[in-house]
Structure 1
Amino acid sequence: MSGLSVAYPDGAVPVRGVDLTLAPGEIVALVGASGSGKSTVLRGIAGLEDVVAGSVEIGGQDVTSVPTHRRGVGMVFQDGQLFPHRTVARNVGYGLEAAGWDRAHRRTRVAELLALVGLAELADRPVQSLSGGQAQRVALARSLAPSPRVLLLDEPLSALDADLRERLAVQIREVLRAAGVTAVVVTHDLSEAAVMADRTVRLGVSGTHDDGRPGTGPG
């Protein structure tokens, strides 16, 4: 992101002049006060909100004007947003179906991802029967299935209780590491950021500020 400014449909510009570079495979946590624009930055990267100044580049390609579905970006939302009428496996395979993967290759890839998030035995389970932690791991697997170039996670643990959040933060980091994916995680919790990310960046009114040591959070 270079000089990134993002606008809402009503014309408000809550994010101005954000500069941030990630190395391939790096996990960065974006933290800041409520209303600082953390989630809006993610939506700008994904193309879900209008970028009115600056640019977004992925792998050296300027994607600022590229449609969302062609950016190679995956996203995990706060509530997972699973499809209630689909099983766990069919949720994970949704993006592959949309991309035209044949059934055999979909089945193989879905099995790989469910094994990666530790839910292989739940492939045929209705998603309504899942716990909160299981549902978020399914959402993570679904986002990883198409092998995105960048994965964006918007407060992925905020709806869970404290004990589960702590355990799942470790699990998500392990999954992201195993997948080798570049990721931006939005969170308001500094300790959670330290567990999940290689680097913590604070979003403030004047842009972004690197908080220093990899994996340590603010110094």
Structure 2
Amino acid sequence: MSGLRVDDARVTYPGTPPVEAVRGVSFDVGPGEIVALLGPSGCGKSSLLSAVVGVTPLAGGTVAWDGEDLARVPVHRRGFGLVFQDGQLFPHLTVAANVAFGLEMAGVPRASREARVAELLAMVGLEELGGRAVTELSGGQRQRVALARSLAPRPRLLALDEPLSSLDADLRGRLAVDVRDLLRATGTTGLVVTHDPAEADVMADRVLRMEDGLLV
């Protein structure tokens, strides 16, 4: 199958005995599909997401893209983007410079970089704020910048780890729709971690529920 395939994924953390955070999980995410991993805190969903993108090593099982096992592929070569709960923007850079960062590191020419940044800022509704410091933005605006920055290199999969949980309920509801629409508009495959059933239903084409390290 093309897209993402996770087979019997296991994630453990050191301890006596070792903590088994993910206990043999298997699922697919098709190209352009948005899948949510839904469950309470501590159920293993963020550990599973980290293993998919390569931040956390697998203790067992495989993660593959288009049939290629990614075990020996480092994080920066997987072609996956990652959006965290707090955005993790660079406070000393402007909005535009944050969005352009990955493109600059990849050696994309300046004109192409600027065109891509302008395109994405328009898509997230921040086209007038490119020169502003990110420290001057609201929480919702900062998450939009983080999303644009992650989409700038055209990732084949975007992983979102509780991307809206730090925002108030009303803003969360509106941004959930915006993020879903943006992923669909760009044809980006999405894997979203959330503890909010309503958010999962809005953002995802399919919801997978986790409990105690397993899909249920």
Paired position in structure 1 for 2:8: 3
Which amino acid is the alignment partner of residue 7 of structure 2? S
Say if 1:183 and 1:60 are closer, same or farther in 2 by CA, change over 3 A.
Answer: same
Say if 1:42 and 1:199 are closer, same or farther in 2 by CA, change over 3 A.
Answer: same
Match of 2:176 among 166, 169, 194: 169
1:81 and 1:166 map into 2 onto residues whose CA distance is 21
- Measure how far apart 1:102 and its partner are: 1.3
- Measure how far apart 1:206 and its partner are: 6.1
Which has the higher mean CA deviation after the structures are superposed, 148-157 or 9-18?
9-18
Which has the higher mean CA deviation after the structures are superposed, 104-113 or 1-10?
1-10
2:54 and 2:14 map into 1 onto residues whose CA distance is 13
Instruction: Give the secondary-structure state (helix, strand or coil) at the position aligned to 1:50.
Output: coil
Match of 2:71 among 64, 75, 81: 64
1:98 and 1:199 map into 2 onto residues whose CA distance is 34
- Gaps (5+ residues) in structure 1? 210-219
**More RCO (CA 8 Å, sep 6+):** 2
The 5 Å alignment of 1:101-116 reads: 101-116=108-123
Say if 1:54 and 1:154 are closer, same or farther in 2 by CA, change over 3 A.
Answer: same
Contact 2:10 2:58 in 1 (8 A): yes
Match of 1:124 among 117, 126, 131: 131
Paired position in structure 1 for 2:94: 87
Match of 1:133 among 140, 147, 157: 140
- Gaps (5+ residues) in structure 2? 1-5
The 5 Å alignment of 1:165-204 reads: 165-204=172-211
Paired position in structure 1 for 2:27: 20
Count of paired positions: 209
Paired position in structure 1 for 2:212: 205
1:78 and 1:163 map into 2 onto residues whose CA distance is 17
- Measure how far apart 1:112 and its partner are: 1.1
Which amino acid is the alignment partner of residue 94 of structure 2? T
Alignment root-mean-square deviation, CA = 1.2
- Measure how far apart 1:118 and its partner are: 1.2
Paired position in structure 2 for 1:214: none
Which amino acid is the alignment partner of residue 9 of structure 2? L
Larger strand proportion of the pair: 2
Contact 1:31 1:186 in 2 (8 A): yes
1:111 and 1:145 map into 2 onto residues whose CA distance is 10
Which amino acid is the alignment partner of residue 86 of structure 2? D
When normalised by structure 1's length, the TM-score is 0.92
Identity of aligned residues (%): 59
1:96 and 1:206 map into 2 onto residues whose CA distance is 36
- Measure how far apart 1:62 and its partner are: 1.1
Which amino acid is the alignment partner of residue 125 of structure 1? R
Which amino acid is the alignment partner of residue 2 of structure 1? D
When normalised by structure 2's length, the TM-score is 0.93
- Measure how far apart 1:9 and its partner are: 5.6
